[in-house]
């Protein structure tokens, strides 16, 4: 099965109960709307790619980990778009959840997706309970306080946020969670996989900053210029477009170099290069030397 | 150790990392503010009482389950009080989290508390992984969709909400989760404990409806008359105060009768009677025959 199909199928299975019979209809519809159709599914693809490079000894565990990471990502998008945060009307080219379903259902959808992520791990891994404890810890650290995406978002409410802590938590943590979860699901020691997740996460952040400056809203599927509007730090604004592009290239190399020895290292290296190269906004062609 | 101390200590341990070094200061403060000082801690007390009646074979598991249930309850209060829901300025006699810390931090605090509940179970139960899978499932069903408190709150966004589903999910589910979790933490089959949780949950709902009608805001520590204002079903409005009081008495009896055979059944019966009797609002004395 193609890895993209694996991700969609794992998400379908996760949502089957939560958005199924007996659920309040609006909530059920909003849960599906928040998860399908997806964006690039970069994070769960990384879970799968790392697990495959490590032998993918337990594909069901891998799929559950990939689904959990993506559910938490979707939850963070729904809450980030709320009027109290980015107040973004558009997400993945369609109205944001709070625009389509109202603010109460948007808050609750995010909550339900967070719960569902942990429930999915427990449901699939009830026969591999040691993995369950490890994966739950990895996923929780990637999303909670003090260092996960929720904490990252909370740094935006601080007058003086340390830039490194902010970006590491807001963007990097879930990428680190994805590489650690992929290795853990495959039954190997996850710590050597931390640097890869951190490099991909930083590359993604720089690319996102470039897109916020360069793209138009229609192409991006969400509002642009948000960082300047919200006085958020932006690598393209700080380093210039050329500087940010150079930084992104260096991070693509760093990610490829960070892959630990494993059976599928060569294939993974190719895949990570392709995936992180795809981060480069198309508009950067204009800035080529 | 007194059970009330046990609950506070378990919550302190749960919050130590999330609200500790490295966390964004406002988020850390809001997490503590949302959890301490608590209300009556009824739900975690039920976890402890049920576990004790079953022998409390693994007190650390019991404490983690109690903390997880209370963290999820606190999360639901923070989100329920938001302007998009009850827009309640007052909670436990002090400003609600969104009033004290702003709406973004309130949304994020709720999210972080949900994550922390599952993280706490995984941290404490990493050596008892079978219990971990079971407890995670119990807790997730009590709080998520389709039948947990998040779904219960979502029924309020439906034009026609089935009353039984609404109340069972919004109030009952976490009480059921508490009795199931207490039994599971003690290592016994949890299903016989479901009826007790359901009876306590229904009693709590009727008592809450009575308080919403009878009490003043200062005594209650939160706004009153919310149900009528929000066109929410209210047992005291439907049955009259006398009818609701009779229903509450019947539910106290039903709870006591629902306790399964177990080593500490007699003591638990006394305790459940005392706890549910304490649900009766003081103002009901006026309505005594």
Average pLDDT over residues A176-195: 98
Residue B116 has its nearest CB partner, among A17, A123, A144, at: A144
Evaluate whether B124 touches B54 at the Cβ level (below 8 Å). no
* CA pseudo-torsion sign A137, B126, B133, B15: negative
Given a cut of 90, whether residue B227 has pLDDT beyond it is: no
Minimum distance, in Å, between the CA of residue B133 and any CA atom of chain A? 5
Average pLDDT over residues B70-96: 96
- The whole-number pLDDT of residue A287 equals 60
User: What size, in residues, is chain B?
Assistant: 289
H-helix segments, chain B = 3-18, 25-35, 42-53, 59-80, 97-101, 103-124, 129-143, 149-155, 163-167, 173-185, 194-214, 217-220, 226-229, 235-257, 265-277
Instruction: With residue B58 as reference, give the H or E element that holds it.
Output: none
Average pLDDT over residues A167-184: 96
Interface list for A 141-160 with B (CB within 8 A): 141, 143-148, 150-151, 153-158
Average pLDDT over residues B23-32: 97
Fill in the DSSP letter of residue B94.
E
Using CB atoms within 10 A of its CB, is residue A67 exposed (0-12), middle (13-18) or buried (19+)?
buried
- CB proximity B22 to A under 8 Å: yes
Closest CA to A4 of A42, A35, A30: A42
SS3 of B51, please?
helix
Average pLDDT over residues A222-234: 72
Interface list for A 95-114 with B (CB within 8 A): 102-105, 107-108, 110-112, 114
Enumerate the residues of chain B whose CB falls inside 8 A of the CB of residue A31: 145
Helices B59-80 and A103-124, packing angle to 10 deg:
160
- The whole-number pLDDT of residue A219 equals 66
Question: What is the overall mean pLDDT for chain A?
Answer: 92
- CB proximity A31 to B under 8 Å: yes
At residue A94, φ and ψ (nearest 5 deg) are: -135, 170
Given a cut of 80, whether residue A284 has pLDDT beyond it is: no
Minimum distance, in Å, between the CA of residue B249 and any CA atom of chain A? 30
Query: Cα(A175)–Cα(A189) distance, rounded to whole angstroms?
Result: 17
* Predicted structure pTM score: 0.95
Q: Answer yes or no: do A18 and B115 touch at CB < 8 A.
A: no
Residue B118 has its nearest CB partner, among A118, A123, A146, at: A118
Query: Cα(A118)–Cα(A247) distance, rounded to whole angstroms?
Result: 35
Closest CA to B237 of B251, B256, B224: B224
Q: How confident is the model at residue A15 (pLDDT cuts 50, 70, 90)?
A: very high
Exposure string (b/e) for A119-129, b if CB count within 10 Å is 16 or more? bbbbbbbbebb
Q: Answer yes or no: do A84 and B104 touch at CB < 8 A.
A: yes
Q: Answer yes or no: do B140 and A115 touch at CB < 8 A.
A: yes
Q: How confident is the model at residue B68 (pLDDT cuts 50, 70, 90)?
A: very high
Name the closest residue on chain A to residue B82, using Cα atoms.
A104
- The whole-number pLDDT of residue A289 equals 43
* Residues pairing with A95 in the sheet: A90
Least confident among A12-26, A151-165, A274-288, B272-286:
A274-288
Q: Answer yes or no: do A145 and B114 touch at CB < 8 A.
A: no
Q: How confident is the model at residue B286 (pLDDT cuts 50, 70, 90)?
A: low
User: What whole-number percentage of chain B has pLDDT above 70?
Assistant: 95
* Residues pairing with B90 in the sheet: B95
Minimum distance, in Å, between the CA of residue B214 and any CA atom of chain A? 28
At residue A91, φ and ψ (nearest 5 deg) are: -150, 130
CATH number where A149 lies: 1.10.600.10
Query: Cα(B192)–Cα(B195) distance, rounded to whole angstroms?
Result: 7
Least confident among A77-86, A169-178, A208-217, B197-206:
A208-217
Name the closest residue on chain A to residue B130, using Cα atoms.
A129
DSSP sequence for chain A: --HHHHHHHHHHHHHHHHTSTTS-HHHHHHHHHHHSS-S--HHHHHHHHHHHHTT-S-HHHHHHHHHHHHHHHHHHHHHHTSTTTT--SEETTEE-HHHHH-HHHHHHHHHHHHHHHHHHHHHHTTT-HHHHHHHHHHHHHHHSTTTSHHHHHHHTTSSS--HHHHHIIIIIHHHHHHHHHHHHHTTS--GGGHHHHHHHHHHHHHHHHHHHHH--HHHHTS-SSHHHHTT---HHHHHHHHHHHHHHHHHHHHHHHTPPS-TTHHHHHHHHHHHHHTTS-GGGGGG--
Does B289 or B132 have the greater pLDDT score? B132
Chain A and chain B share a number of CB contacts under 8 A equal to: 204
Given a cut of 90, whether residue B76 has pLDDT beyond it is: yes
Fill in the DSSP letter of residue B260.
P
Fill in the DSSP letter of residue B191.
G
Q: How many domains does chain B have?
A: 1
Q: How far apart are the first and last CA of chain A?
A: 41
Given a cut of 60, whether residue B289 has pLDDT beyond it is: no
Q: How confident is the model at residue B280 (pLDDT cuts 50, 70, 90)?
A: confident
- CB proximity B177 to A under 8 Å: no
Closest CA to A149 of B229, B91, B115: B115
- CB proximity A130 to B under 8 Å: yes
Evaluate whether B83 touches A111 at the Cβ level (below 8 Å). no
Evaluate whether A50 touches A174 at the Cβ level (below 8 Å). no
Range of the domain at B93: 3-287
Verify cis geometry, omega within 30 degrees of 0, for the bond prior to A37: yes
- Which residues touch A249 (CB under 8 Å, ≥6 apart)? none
Given a cut of 70, whether residue A261 has pLDDT beyond it is: yes
Query: Cα(B210)–Cα(B202) distance, rounded to whole angstroms?
Result: 12
Question: What is the overall mean pLDDT for chain B?
Answer: 92
Q: How confident is the model at residue B288 (pLDDT cuts 50, 70, 90)?
A: low
Output the six-digit token pair for A254: 């760093």
Q: How far apart are the first and last CA of chain B?
A: 40
Minimum distance, in Å, between the CA of residue A119 and any CA atom of chain B? 6
Does A217 or B155 have the greater pLDDT score? B155
Q: How confident is the model at residue A286 (pLDDT cuts 50, 70, 90)?
A: low
What ipTM, to 2 d.p.?
0.94
Name the closest residue on chain A to residue B129, using Cα atoms.
A129
- The whole-number pLDDT of residue A6 equals 96
Query: Cα(B59)–Cα(B51) distance, rounded to whole angstroms?
Result: 8
Query: Cα(B47)–Cα(B67) distance, rounded to whole angstroms?
Result: 9
């Amino acid at each position: 099965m193609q890895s993209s199909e694996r991700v969609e199928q794992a998400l379908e299975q996760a949502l089957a109960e939560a958005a199924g019979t007996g659920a309040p209809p609006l909530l059920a519809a909003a849960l599906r709307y928040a998860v399908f159709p997806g964006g690039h599914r970069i994070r769960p693809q990384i879970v799968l790619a790392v697990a495959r490079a490590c032998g993918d000894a337990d594909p069901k565990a891998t799929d559950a980990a990939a689904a959990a990471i993506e559910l938490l990502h979707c939850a963070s998008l729904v809450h980030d778009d709320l009027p109290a945060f980015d107040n973004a009307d558009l997400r993945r080219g369609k109205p944001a959840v709070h625009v389509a379903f109202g603010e109460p259902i948007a808050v609750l959808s995010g909550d339900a997706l967070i719960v569902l992520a942990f429930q999915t791990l427990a449901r699939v891994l009830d026969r591999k309970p040691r993995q369950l404890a490890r994966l739950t810890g990895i996923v929780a650290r990637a999303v909670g306080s003090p260092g996960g995406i929720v904490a990252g978002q909370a740094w935006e409410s601080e007058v003086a946020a340390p830039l490194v802590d902010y970006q590491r938590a807001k963007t990097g943590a879930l990428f680190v969670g994805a590489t650690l979860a992929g290795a853990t699901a495959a039954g190997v020691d996850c710590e050597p996989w931390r640097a890869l997740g951190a490099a991909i996460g930083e590359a993604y952040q720089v690319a996102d900053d470039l897109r916020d400056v360069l793209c138009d809203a229609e192409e991006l599927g969400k509002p642009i210029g948000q960082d300047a509007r919200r006085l958020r730090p932006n690598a393209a604004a700080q380093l210039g477009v050329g500087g940010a592009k150079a930084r992104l290239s260096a991070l693509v190399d760093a990610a490829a170099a960070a892959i630990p020895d494993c059976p599928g290292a060569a294939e993974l290296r190719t895949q990570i290069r392709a995936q992180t190269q795809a981060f480069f906004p198309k508009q950067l062609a204009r800035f080529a030397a």
